[in-house]
Every structure is written in C-alpha cells, then in structure tokens.
Amino acid sequence: MNKAQTTGTSTISQRNIISLFAILLGLLFFTSLSIGSNPIPLLRATAEAAGDSPSIISLILTEIRLPRTLIALLAGATLGLCGAVMQGLLRNPLASPGLIGSSSGAAFGAVLVLYLGLADMLQLALPVGGMLGSLGAMLLVYILAGRDASIVTLILAGVAINTLALALVSLILNLAPSPYAVQEIALWMLGSVADKGMHDFWLLLFPTLIGWGLLAGSGKALDALTLGEDTAHTLGFNVPAVRWRLFLATALAVGAAVSITGAIGFVGLVTPHLIRPLVGHQPSRLLTTSALGGGILLLLADMVVRLLPPGQEIKVGVITSLVGAPFFLYLILKTRRVQI
Amino acid sequence: MLSLLPQRPLLKNWSAVCILLSLLGAVSQAVFAGQPQRIVSINLCTDQLLLMLVGPERIASISSLALDPHSSYMAASASEHHTNHGKTEELLPLKPDLVLASGFAARPAVELMRRLGHRVEVLPLASNMAGIRSNIRRMAELVGAEEKGERLIQNMDQRIESVARNLPKHRPKGIFYQPRGYTSGSDTLQDEAMHLAGWSNVAAEVGVSGYSSIGLEKLLMAQPEQIFTSSYAPGTSSMAQRQLQHPVIRQLTRARPMVEIAYRLWICDGPMIADAVEALAAAHK
C-alpha cells in the first residue's frame, strides 16, 4: 500500500542490520584471535608483533590465529554472498555453491593442481585450478538443468555433478603419488581452515576481491530477475551478460576459497535463508547482509572447532554440516508444503 | 667340517669320500632340523630383520615395501626376492613353513594363514632399545640364526655407547615433526633415539604420547631448538607436506635448519636405530 514508507523503513532497518552484523563480526574477530590451545595476552602480543624480532606469542597471533580468522571470514563471506546470488539468479531457494557444483568442482580443480605438484611450482596455480573447476562444474549443472529449471531438475543436475566431482576428487587422491593424499579426502570434502598461514590468505584475497567486485552492483539485476528473464530484459538488463558475470564472479570467489579451505558445506545455502526474515526477499538487500552473515557463521563454527578438546582434529565442515543439514531438510519440507 | 675336504690323501679313496659326504649330509640335517626353509615375511619390519639374519636361499617372499629405498634399510638386498602384498592368495602358493608379521600386520591375512595350518609368528612393535633387542633375539631364534642375532645386537649397542661417550652435557630441545603436524611423543622409537643422541624430546615433555599431531601453537610454545623430519615420499605434494612450509616452521628453523633423518633408519625397530642415533648426535654440531 504505502510503498515509499515500507521501503524507507526497511532500508533503515537493513542499514541497522548491516551495522549490527559488522559490530558482531568485529567482536567475533577479536574473540577468535584470543581462542587457541594456549591463552596469550593479546595486547602484549600485538605490541610485540609490531617490534623488530617477533616473540613466540606475537607469532601465535600473527602467523597462526590471524590468518585462520581472516580466511574463515573471507571464505564464509564468499559462501554466504554467492549463496544469495545463486538463489537470486536461478530463482531457486535451494541454489547454493554447494548444490550447483561450484564447491565440488573447485575442490576437483584444486586437488588436481595440488597433487600433481603444480602448486609447488607456482603458488597461484592452486586458486586458478579451483576457479576453473568451479566454473566448469557450474556450467555443466546449468547446461544439464536448463535455464528455467524446476527445483527438482536443478537438484538432480547438481547431485549428479557433485557426485561426479567428489568421485574424481577421491580418485585423484587415491592415485596421487603422495602417501598423505588419501588421508586428505575428508579435508577436501568437509573443509577446514586449520593451520593456514598468511601466505594462504594473500593467495585467497585477490581473486576473492575481484569476485566480490563483480558481484557488487548486481543487486538491481537480480531484483529485476525475480520478475522473470523477459521482464528483466524489458527493464533494460542484458540477461545473458548478467548471468555470465555472476557465474564468473562466483567461480572466482568460491574457487579461490575452496582451493584454500576445501568444500565447506551448507554455509552458502543456509545463510541467505537466515537473513531473509530480517531484510525481506529482495536479492539486492540480501547480498551484503548474506556476506556478513556467512563470515559470522563460518567464524563461529571454526571457534567451536577450536574450543573442542585438542587432538580431535574435527573439521569445520563437520560443524557447518551438523547445523546445516537439518536446516536443509526443513527447507525441503517447507518447499514441499508450498508445492502441495 | 669343510676344511677336511681338501685333504688329498682322503680324496684318493672314493669310499672315504662317500662316507664323508654322507656324514656331511647327516650333520647338516641335524643342524638345520626343524629350521624353516621357506620363510615368508609380510611386513616391512620383519622383512628387514629377516634379510639381516637369513640368506636368500631360505627366504620365499618379503613384502613389497622392503624394496622402497625410503622405507627399507635393506632395500638393496631385497631387490632379488619374491615380493608380496600381505594377501593370503599370494602367500598360499609359496607353501611357507614360517610366516612372519609384525604389530601392524593385516590381521585377516594372519588369521586366515593360521587357520589354514601355517605357522605364523607376529613380532610386537618395539619402541625402545630393550624391545629392539628382544625382537632381534626372537627373530634370530625363529630362523635359527642366534649367533648372528647376538652379533647384530652387540654391534648396535657398541655404536650407541660410543655416541653416548661424546654427548654434550646440556640436552638441547628437539622435536620430530612430520607432515600434517605429526610428532612422536613418549614411548616411541623416535623418542628413544633422540634421548640416546643427547636431545630432549619436547613433544614428550608437553604431554604427547605415542604418534600424534601437535598443533602449531603448541609447537611454538614448546620452543624446540632443533626440528628433525623424515621425508616419506620426497618430490610428492599434499596439504600435509605443505604444512612443513608454514611460516611458523620457517621461523623455528631459521637459526637451525630442519635436519632430515632417513625414514628407513627408524620407521621400523632394528639395529639400524644406531644409524639414526649417530645422525641425530651429529646434529649437535
């Protein structure tokens, strides 16, 4: 009815939500830096990190906890953001990097590059492998399912490509010359941000930023796409170009994230659904909040992992899946009810 | 007995030769009676002890790992032997009269060979010198090479004693660090060898027992002065192996670079532990 007013109030509330999330993220960031196997005085560690010769506690802060925290934030934000984008683009509430093949494809690409030894020759080969794998798998799913695929078709195509990609991951890891490869199947399929260094973070940062940059500003196009491709076209959007840009951006960001952390499940699927009740259903409002929400979720999950008794080596993907899988089932039930 | 043969006067008498030969046969029958003649080993650790103690004529098969120069101390003398992968169907046609396995033997194969009426002996995995000595003695006894076994033990003990005589008074902190952050705490061969070579094993000191992973933070806090590692498959790549390139490890090894101890020296218990102890002691300089 009173459209201007509703938009006005929800924009304000969206802004509030964004600042709320940002504050929460900041708090979690510092909490995350203080969680580890040994309690360290954060302020002293920070001061010593600024000095000339790094001390033990400053190394723990800057070389162990900081990269781990930053990578969890970056990867989580990518997954949340790309989940929101894919759900908007494909007009499908079950679309997510995990479901449409971009995560498993990225894992396949990264595994291929890493275990053949290419990543040792050229560090950048790892994220590039992830991106190419991600893009390839997404395109396959998209071609298999067709443009205006029903939920079921998309899921089937996604399941097929995911299964194929993960089978190939297992195959490569079984055939890889490294005796450690086979034990790393779980790492790629569940994902982990443990024992990462700043070099991993830098490797992840640039493709992620490029991906995010390509996604930024796609909100209006996604809003138009909710009305159907024809309407979006008459509104002046070049739909195929938009689609390509979003696929490419997702491949860049998800491909880079997965090549460093492995395929962390359910963050991309769940985050937009958790955010929607707060900001409404318009994709443009979902993007920033989903990115922040994804970062918060993954960081929280990784903090849980770190608080578990040491020596267990629980992967962060186990936590996200334990929370995400029941939520996924709930979504399916809800969708079924709507269809009936 | 053999020294009798060249005595010429006896050789002229054919009947004497015949008597002598039959005598020799009888003696060798008596000496080797009950000794296994078709020995099969299905684990790397028993492979190596077997190759040290017994000549090729009595070894029917060893495990394929024994050929790998990174894992096997006896790889050179293993190359001419028939190899197996511990599968029952490979072992049966060999008609072994003794099957040797060690602590991490493929259990089903061991049980099946036993049920099919073969003699199977399983040696425990030793994690200290007493265990190594008792495994060598047990193996020597099983294959009838007691004297050779004692010689191996004596030689090993002598070498380790001579290392002990030249050790620095202060024990620097060392750690054995492997891909994926695995380390050897108390009650491991690596702990024993490091101790014998004058190092204190910080992994054991911070409470790691057996083979387990140690977090990067814990590793930093333990402040090892020297990191030892054993590449298992050099030239290959994995997330686990990338961990050795972590900036924290680089920082820890800046003053003293990581020292590589060949895996074959301490992946299995055996007299080659003396080589490991010597290599570890050489790292003091």
Query: What is the number of CB-based contacts under 8 A between chain A and chain B?
Result: 82
What is the architecture, at CATH level 2, of domain B39-160?
3-Layer(aba) Sandwich (3.40)
Beta strands in A176-313 (DSSP E): none
Residue A241 domain-assigned? yes
Chain A residue closest in CA terms to B224: A56
User: On the CB side of A28, how many CA atoms lie within 13 Å of its CA?
Assistant: 24
Burial environment of residue A309 by CB neighbours within 10 A (0 to 12, 13 to 18, 19 or more): exposed
Domain boundaries, chain B: 39-160, 168-282
The CA-atom distances, in angstroms, between B158 and each of A302, B61, B166 are 52, 32, 13
Secondary structure of residue B102 in the 3-state scheme: strand
Name the CATH topology of B168-282. Answer: Rossmann fold (3.40.50)
Burial environment of residue A42 by CB neighbours within 10 A (0 to 12, 13 to 18, 19 or more): middle
CA–CA separation, B97 and A53 (whole Å): 65
Secondary structure of residue B123 in the 3-state scheme: strand
The whole-number mean pLDDT for each consecutive block of 10 residues of chain B, a chain of 285 residues, reads 43 56 54 80 95 95 93 92 92 94 80 92 94 96 96 97 93 95 95 97 94 91 95 87 91 93 95 97 92
* Residues sharing a CB contact under 8 Å with residue A240, sequence separation 6 or more, in sequence order: none
Which of A56, A120, A195 lies at the smallest CB-CB distance from B243?
A195
Secondary structure of residue B215 in the 3-state scheme: coil
How many contiguous H segments (helices) and E segments (strands) does chain B have? 14, 11
Cβ proximity of B2 and B23 under 8 Å: no
Cβ proximity of B246 and B197 under 8 Å: no
Give yes or no for A195 touching B (CB within 8 A).
Answer: yes
Give yes or no for A186 touching B (CB within 8 A).
Answer: no
Determine, for residues A184 and B240 on separate chains, whether the beta-carbon distance falls below 8 Å.
Answer: yes
Q: Which residue type is seen at A220?
A: K
Determine, for residues B212 and A117 on separate chains, whether the beta-carbon distance falls below 8 Å.
Answer: no
Give yes or no for A49 touching B (CB within 8 A).
Answer: no
Q: What is the CATH number of the domain that holds A270?
A: 1.10.3470.10
For B150, the token pair is 């004692």
Rounded to a whole number of angstroms, the distance from the CA of A198 to the nearest CA of chain B is 8
Closest CA to A188 of B278, B240, B58: B240
Task: Give residue B8's pLDDT.
Answer: 45
Mutation to test the A interface, candidates B216, B221, B249, B267, most A Cβ within 10 Å: B216
Q: Which residue type is seen at A56?
A: I
Q: Which single residue is written with the structure tokens 């094993």?
A: B201
The residue segments making up the domain with residue A257 are: 25-339
Residue A178 domain-assigned? yes
Cβ proximity of A107 and A169 under 8 Å: yes
Residue A9 domain-assigned? no
Packed helices B273-282 and B146-165: angle between N→C axes, nearest 10 degrees: 10
Q: Name chain A contacts of B213, Cβ cutoff 8 Å.
A: 311, 313
Beta strands in B107-244 (DSSP E): 120-123, 173-178, 182-184, 200-201, 211-213, 226-229
CA–CA separation, B36 and B45 (whole Å): 19
DSSP-derived letter for residue A193 is -
For B118, the token pair is 């073969």
Say what the ipTM of the complex is.
0.82
Give yes or no for A51 touching B (CB within 8 A).
Answer: no
Task: Give residue B106's pLDDT.
Answer: 63
Residue A279 domain-assigned? yes
> Which residues of chain A, if any, have pLDDT below 50?
1-8
Task: Give residue B26's pLDDT.
Answer: 52
Closest CA to B226 of B268, B186, B153, B173: B173
Q: Name chain B contacts of A32, Cβ cutoff 8 Å.
A: none
Rounded to a whole number of angstroms, the distance from the CA of A68 to the nearest CA of chain B is 12
Burial environment of residue B266 by CB neighbours within 10 A (0 to 12, 13 to 18, 19 or more): buried
CA–CA separation, B179 and B174 (whole Å): 16
DSSP-derived letter for residue B125 is P
Beta bridge partners of B122: B101
Q: Which residue type is seen at A337?
A: R
Task: Give residue A7's pLDDT.
Answer: 46
Rounded to a whole number of angstroms, the distance from the CA of A321 to the nearest CA of chain B is 22
CA–CA separation, A63 and A184 (whole Å): 23
Packed helices A283-307 and A3-33: angle between N→C axes, nearest 10 degrees: 20
Cβ proximity of B172 and B147 under 8 Å: no
CA–CA separation, B134 and B237 (whole Å): 38
Packed helices B129-143 and B44-53: angle between N→C axes, nearest 10 degrees: 60
Other CB atoms within 10 A of residue A293 CB: 28
Count: domains in chain A: 1
Is B168-282 the same fold as B39-160? Answer: yes
Which of A37, A54, A116 lies at the smallest CB-CB distance from B217?
A37
CA–CA separation, A32 and A78 (whole Å): 19
Q: Which single residue is written with the structure tokens 């020292």?
A: B259
Rounded to a whole number of angstroms, the distance from the CA of B38 to the nearest CA of chain A is 32
